Amino acid sequence: MAPIIEAHGLVKRYKEIVALDGLDLAVEPGTILSVLGPNGAGKTTAVSILTTLIKADEGTATVAGFDVREHPDEVKKNIGLSGQYAAVDEQLTGFENLRMVGRLYRMGKPAAVRRSRELLEQFDLTDAADRPVKGYSGGMRRRLDLAGALIAEPPILFLDEPTTGLDPRSRADLWIAIKGLVAGGTTLLLTTQYMEEAEHLADDIMVIDHGREIAHGTADELKNMLGGERVVVTVADPDHIARATEVLAQFAVGEQHVDDHTRELTVPISGGAPVLTAALRALDTAGIAVTDVGLRRPTLDDVFLTLTGHRTEETEIASVEVGE
């Protein structure tokens, strides 16, 4: 099947900052593409170009068969967008917001009202439906904004970090809703900073950084790029970090990662539990006390770390603070 979202060589510059640096992407109808990247990677920029909100400096993109530059109105009729920041009217109630959005999608009055009530129910906002949005919590606004993207049941959805700021339950609910939509034939492009989210939802994951694709594949494919499992060791004394690194080097099959802030060493190994035991014994012999130890399969976070040399946002902030 031909891709329903397609982009070639998208470039977007803001003065000297290159937000997108030749990004290609393609999404087949009825599938999910998850665009994974840290802050400033260019996720929002890519979504904004595909949803016609901004224009690329170079490159082309089509959505639902329409060129985003030439036919923005046709594109808009076929998409629903929930941006990174909730775009809702503070003074209107949740219901009034949705009804307005429905009407502006050119739905008839009764249809807009019915869909609004349906979505308020689905997103657990029934109790708050008739209260002005200014009294909503961040998560409630977020869900209302998502409902706005869904109201006209567009065939293509763009969700820019849809679960950022949601509590675990709302996030799980949203995942179920998203899976339901895709099962019903909706195509979805979603951005996220959460590895587990990409892994849980997406058929196809694209990792981007500095406006470029740095890896692309299914969650399993990305993990296979990294081979075997990891030993994760937390040393008790920060002064022991360097020594521990030396000791563990003999077991490593790839580059070790050291987080000075958490005193955590991540060592790619092959050979499983026996190697872990040997590594622990070696540390013990060297007189290095360990507070925590574990063996785990590579996560997408490791993929990210390996490919970009830095972790995703949450952990990156922690390490930047101590000035590495």
Residues contributing to the site for ligand ATP (CB under 6 A): 14, 17, 19, 37, 39-45, 84, 193
In the bound state with ligand ATP, the residue whose beta carbon lies nearer, of 39 and 126, is: 39
Selection from ligand ATP, another protein, Mg ion, none that 37 binds (CB < 5 to 8 A by kind) is ligand ATP
First and final C-alpha spacing in the chain? 48
Beta-sheet pairing, 156-160 with 187-192? parallel
In whole angstroms, how close is the CB of 275 to another protein at the nearest point?
Answer: 52
- The secondary structure of residue 156, as a DSSP letter, is E
d(CA 159, CA 192): 9
Is 44 one of the binding residues for Mg ion (CB under 5 A)? yes
Three-state DSSP at 9 gives: strand
In the bound state with ligand ATP, the residue whose beta carbon lies nearer, of 42 and 154, is: 42
In the bound state with ligand ATP, the residue whose beta carbon lies nearer, of 14 and 285, is: 14
In the bound state with Mg ion, the residue whose beta carbon lies nearer, of 46 and 75, is: 46
Selection from ligand ATP, Mg ion, another protein, none that 106 binds (CB < 5 to 8 A by kind) is another protein
In the bound state with ligand ATP, the residue whose beta carbon lies nearer, of 146 and 276, is: 146
Encode 301-317 in three state secondary structure.
HHHHHHHHCCCCHHHHH
Write the CA distances from 162 to 28, 68, 84, 215, 226, integer angstroms. 21, 23, 7, 22, 28
In whole angstroms, how close is the CB of 226 to Mg ion at the nearest point?
Answer: 26
d(CA 134, CA 96): 13
Beta-sheet pairing, 32-36 with 204-209? parallel
Is 18 one of the binding residues for another protein (CB under 8 A)? no
Selection from another protein, Mg ion, ligand ATP, none that 81 binds (CB < 5 to 8 A by kind) is another protein
Is 92 one of the binding residues for another protein (CB under 8 A)? yes
Residues 6+ apart with CB under 8 A from 291: 234, 235, 236, 263
Is 315 one of the binding residues for Mg ion (CB under 5 A)? no
State the residues that interact with another protein by CB under 8 A. Answer: 51, 53-55, 73, 76-77, 79, 81, 83, 85-92, 96, 100-101, 103-106, 132, 145, 148
